[in-house]
Structure 1
Amino acid sequence: MTSTVTTTSGTTAADLNSQLAQAAQSIIDGATGSTLDINSLVQAMVTSKTSAQASAIATQQSSDNTELSAIGKIQSALSSLDDALSGFLDGTALSQVKASLNGTGITASTTTGAVTGSYSVSVSQLATASSAQSIALPSTSTLNAGTMTLQVGSSSMNVSVTSGESLSAIATAINNSAGNPGVSATVVNATDGQHLLLTSKQTGQANTITLTSNVTATDSSGNSTALFSQGVVAGQDAQLSINGLQVTSASNTVTNALTGVTLDISGVNGATPSTPVTQTLTLVNDTSASTTAINNFVSAYNNYVTTAASLSSYNQSTSTAGPLLGDSMTNGITNGLASLISSGITSGGKTYSLSSIGLNLQPDGTISVDDDTLQNALSTNSSALTAVFNPLNGIGAKLDLFMTPYTQASGMIDQRTSTLNADLSDLQDQSTQLTDYQNALTAQYNAQFTALNNLMTQMQNNTQYLTQLFGGKDSAGTLASNK
């Protein structure tokens, strides 16, 4: 069997031999009266001289790019696994708590630190915002010049009012001021005229508006009245109790009452100190969140196993090898992870396997989840579950510690990637240099064969001239003696 070598341009060795043969024939034809096919001749010679190096560069570039892509897939799979382990490293994956209440109007959410338990929550007062409203300003009334000072807490602002200014202009000035202390201003068009309504942006007694104003309004009869003669309504704090312990909050979103629990009481209706609204808050382990975290870990681990297997295996049916077949780094990662998964976790002098909580290692290296066994471990808070996923030396901590030298910045994978990119850069330089050499060689050959073609054409013309003078085969020249 004759093998065929193909260059980067798609030209086979047989094609090159054919082109060279044609080029050689062009020289012969040129010497016998035909014109040289210089372009074909030069192309064939340049290709034959550089195709081997071009093919070697292209082959190595393809190999590097394929390997770079494969390493990137390994890195991505490890990164996903590392992300799935984060909740086990900080202990939050199995310690999540969910909240429920036996009524409406109060809602609760949990964060890190919440613990299971049952609590009586009684709301006697909602937090409200401070407000102040002006007197009615009919269309026949006019504002007089003056100054308003608004203060919330330690911040304050001055508002200058000009004679005849509108309430909407004052509201705009307050809302757009960079020094606004936390007051929202709007105009209400009521049946008795316009009112300027000021409201503190935050609820609570500490956010009560302090208002000083010498602005007056003059009605059609010439009577002047202070614009804010009705005073300010103070803000109030929310009042509630938890298991009889009194709690106050400037906001109806209460975050400082129970560790890890946020209560929203804004939906409570009709609560007063004499008629509080009482509900039972229940905090229990969120097994569904823990189940999701464990399944996410299994999925991420299985994704790495299948990804690594597809990149490092040999397909006998197609006779195709994966780009990382026999790769020591990939094999090291795969074998190391498998060893940690199969060896289990030792805690308190006892070794717990992952199968004890329903995570079973399969022949292909992946993990399958036995839901019944896992749910039983979660609902009973089994010692095996606690041991396997403990944040100190549990499976998450061990896998993370093992992967760190590979996945960290400037780690083994980054170094491998940098090496491949450096090689690709060098190959690109070689390719550029080869192209420059091909261009120079083409110019050289074009010049040489153009000169040769001109010489042969001149020789052919001289031959014809001499034949005309002295004759030749089957012809008599003008100067021939035997004419």
Structure 2
Amino acid sequence: MPAISNLNIGNSTFDLDKLYSQLEQYETQTLTPITQEATKVQSQISAFGQLRTALEALQKATTSLNSASALDSTSIISTNTSFSAKSNNNASVGNYQILVKQLATAQTLLSDKISSNTQPLGTAGAEGRTLTLSSGSGEPVTINLSDGDTSLNGIINAINKSGADVVATSIKSSDGEYYLSLSSKNTGADNTINVTVSGDDTLQKVIGYDGGASKTGMHQTSQGQDALIEVNGIPVKSASNTVVDAPYGITLTLNSVSAQEERLEIANNTADAVKNIKAWVSAYNNVQSVVTSITKYSGSSGLSSDTSSSGPLMGNGTVRDIQSQLRNVLNVTQSGAVKIMAELGITQNTTKAADGSVGTLSIDENKLSSALSTNPHAVYEFFLGDGKTTGFSTLASSTLDNILSDSYTSKGTLTAAVNTLNDSYDKLVQRYDQQQARIDTTMARYKLQFSQLNKALSEMNQTKDYLTAQFSNSDD
């Protein structure tokens, strides 16, 4: 409540304004412990926010580790010309000899000469005229054609809008004549095109095609064919130039016919696995750094009570519990060939880090890379286990979920602590408002009392002046 600047005291010998201000200052001091406690709670909530951010980054890094492709992956290390290759985590490390003998192509058809691209090619007024297109085993597509749709441009537009597995275009020759060209959208020997016009024999003779030897209608200019390759001398046929699982776990994209066999070499991809593991260690160390910052003790000695710059969560039990949960994950012995992290070159530091954090991790990258190269499946098993109850990253993911969970039915360790602090802050706000209301009421009462006192003093001064004047007159 703002101080009252003047109580209309007049010539009173009592400085009621000053006294009122002193009383107001005294009353306001009762708010200080509440505001100090509220500030402390807010700083604790903010500190838990920093910890949550660090833990969520660790959770993200754990998710990246919690998959086979992140740890047990392979990569193509050869450079090839007639094909390119990609591997997945099912691919086996090894070398293959690849020979591309034939690329897959799509069938193309061409019409005879057409003198105009805008003049109708069918019989005027034909009723029920339809064009049916099919390619390979795909469902036939039937298109209704009006007279205007039977021009070369109209036919091309109708086909390309129909959704059929056929692409239509026109070609203009040097002598000014036009040709209709149809191509299957899909490569392969079985993806042959069939074109049938019903209700208009004239148009059928211009653009019809059924694969026969008819001298009317369209004719084949390029036969659809399958891709033919050999993998270690074994023939492989594909309707597409994308060949999957030959070899298993490898996708080949064919570019050209081979001049000779090319060597395809597949190796363990240790770089990505090392990157993912390093990212996890970095995220874990960042959690330890944040914990150190928010729980630090800044007293100058063991007997000092000066903790003004100490961390807002110094000595906090929830933070200690979270640290304990994370350390327990590090100490679990797995059942596979790799049992502890130290076997992968990941160890806990016994000394403080530069920022004062304790329990950080360090990596011997040479040892880690060696383990990934010699026995990647053992590393994979160490981290993933059965994906349910065993495996380092499986346990870490479960632990972080227990810490960070914010679901309606299950509040995590950190979430529960922050909710408690938010409740405390709300109660402090309520206490502050109640105390402020009490102060406002008290100061209003003081104002009334001081105003009454001022009036009484003024009346007494008037009486004093009157009596003084009377006595002075009586002496005369």
| Counterpart among 196, 202, 226 of residue 212 in structure 1 | 196
How far off is 1:205 after superposition?
Answer: 4.3
1:406 aligns with 2:403: yes
- Please give the secondary structure, in 1, of the residue aligned with 2:385: coil
How far off is 1:299 after superposition?
Answer: 1.3
Q: How many Å separate the matches in 1 of 2:107 and 2:450?
A: 98
Q: Which moved more, 1:223-232 or 1:253-262?
A: 223-232
Equivalence for 1:323: 312
| Counterpart among 321, 339, 347 of residue 360 in structure 1 | 347
The verdict on how the C-alpha distance between 1:176 and 1:48 changes in structure 2, with shifts beyond 3 A counting, is: farther
The verdict on how the C-alpha distance between 1:283 and 1:383 changes in structure 2, with shifts beyond 3 A counting, is: closer
| Counterpart among 393, 396, 407 of residue 393 in structure 2 | 396
1:286 aligns with 2:269: yes
The answer as to whether partners of 2:345 and 2:368 remain within 8 angstroms in 1 is yes
Equivalence for 1:52: 30
The verdict on how the C-alpha distance between 1:471 and 1:86 changes in structure 2, with shifts beyond 3 A counting, is: closer
TM-score (norm 2): 0.73
Equivalence for 2:89: 112
Report the aligned-residue RMSD. 4.6
| Counterpart among 272, 296, 314 of residue 313 in structure 1 | 296
Letter in 1 for 2:139: S
Q: Which moved more, 1:162-171 or 1:292-301?
A: 162-171
The verdict on how the C-alpha distance between 1:402 and 1:473 changes in structure 2, with shifts beyond 3 A counting, is: same
1:150 aligns with 2:133: yes
The answer as to whether partners of 1:88 and 1:94 remain within 8 angstroms in 2 is yes
Equivalence for 1:29: 9
Same amino acid, percent of matched pairs:
26
- Please give the secondary structure, in 2, of the residue aligned with 1:263: strand
The answer as to whether partners of 1:128 and 1:203 remain within 8 angstroms in 2 is yes
Q: How many Å separate the matches in 1 of 2:238 and 2:363?
A: 46
Letter in 2 for 1:154: E
Q: Which moved more, 1:90-99 or 1:416-425?
A: 416-425
- Please give the secondary structure, in 1, of the residue aligned with 2:134: strand
Equivalence for 2:147: 162
Q: How many Å separate the matches in 2 of 1:161 and 1:377?
A: 71
1:256-311 deviations in Å (ceiling 9; x for gaps): 4333221111x22x46xxxx863222221112222222222221221122121222
| Counterpart among 185, 203, 208 of residue 187 in structure 2 | 203
Residues 28-427 of structure 1: matches in 2 within 5 Å? 29-30=9-10, 32=12, 49=27, 52-53=30-31, 55-86=32-63, 88-101=65-78, 103-139=80-116, 142-143=119-120, 144=122, 146-152=129-135, 153-163=138-148, 167-177=152-162, 180-191=163-174, 192-205=176-189, 207-213=191-197, 226-227=206-207, 229-231=217-219, 235-265=224-254, 267-268=255-256, 270=257, 278-316=261-299, 319=307, 320-341=309-330, 343=331, 345=333, 347=335, 352-363=339-350, 364=352, 365-381=359-375, 388-389=382-383, 391-392=385-386, 393-409=390-406, 410-427=411-428
Q: How many Å separate the matches in 2 of 1:371 and 1:289?
A: 13
Letter in 2 for 1:52: T
The answer as to whether partners of 1:100 and 1:108 remain within 8 angstroms in 2 is no
How far off is 1:158 after superposition?
Answer: 0.7
1:348-367 deviations in Å (ceiling 9; x for gaps): 6x885533332232123112
Q: How many Å separate the matches in 2 of 1:203 and 1:62?
A: 71
In structure 2, list runs of 5 or more residues that go unmatched.
Answer: 209-216, 301-305, 353-358
The answer as to whether partners of 1:89 and 1:391 remain within 8 angstroms in 2 is no
The answer as to whether partners of 1:31 and 1:456 remain within 8 angstroms in 2 is no
The answer as to whether partners of 1:30 and 1:36 remain within 8 angstroms in 2 is no
The answer as to whether partners of 1:127 and 1:236 remain within 8 angstroms in 2 is yes
Letter in 1 for 2:30: A
The answer as to whether partners of 2:98 and 2:229 remain within 8 angstroms in 1 is yes
Q: How many Å separate the matches in 1 of 2:377 and 2:225?
A: 49
How far off is 1:104 after superposition?
Answer: 0.5
Equivalence for 2:355: none
The answer as to whether partners of 1:123 and 1:240 remain within 8 angstroms in 2 is yes
- Please give the secondary structure, in 1, of the residue aligned with 2:228: strand
Whose strand fraction is larger, Structure 1's or Structure 2's?
Answer: 1
Q: How many Å separate the matches in 1 of 2:194 and 2:281?
A: 59
Q: More relative contact order in 1 or in 2 (CA 8 Å, sep 6+)?
A: 2
The answer as to whether partners of 1:122 and 1:241 remain within 8 angstroms in 2 is yes
Q: How many Å separate the matches in 2 of 1:140 and 1:253?
A: 37
Q: How many Å separate the matches in 2 of 1:416 and 1:292?
A: 34
Q: Which moved more, 1:144-153 or 1:224-233?
A: 224-233
1:420-456 deviations in Å (ceiling 9; x for gaps): 33444444555666677778888x6799589869968
- Please give the secondary structure, in 2, of the residue aligned with 1:59: helix
Q: How many Å separate the matches in 2 of 1:151 and 1:277?
A: 37
In structure 1, list runs of 5 or more residues that go unmatched.
Answer: 1-8, 10-15
Q: How many Å separate the matches in 2 of 1:155 and 1:426?
A: 73
How far off is 1:108 after superposition?
Answer: 1.0
TM-score (norm 1): 0.72
1:307-343 deviations in Å (ceiling 9; x for gaps): 21222122346942112211122112223433543x4
The answer as to whether partners of 1:138 and 1:194 remain within 8 angstroms in 2 is yes
- Please give the secondary structure, in 2, of the residue aligned with 1:356: helix
The answer as to whether partners of 1:77 and 1:307 remain within 8 angstroms in 2 is yes
- Please give the secondary structure, in 2, of the residue aligned with 1:257: coil
Q: How many Å separate the matches in 2 of 1:189 and 1:51?
A: 95
How far off is 1:96 after superposition?
Answer: 0.9
How far off is 1:395 after superposition?
Answer: 3.4
- Please give the secondary structure, in 1, of the residue aligned with 2:314: coil
1:396-425 deviations in Å (ceiling 9; x for gaps): 344334434213343222222333334444
- Please give the secondary structure, in 1, of the residue aligned with 2:80: coil
Letter in 1 for 2:228: Q
Residues 1-40 of structure 1: matches in 2 within 5 Å? 26-27=6-7, 29-30=9-10, 32=12
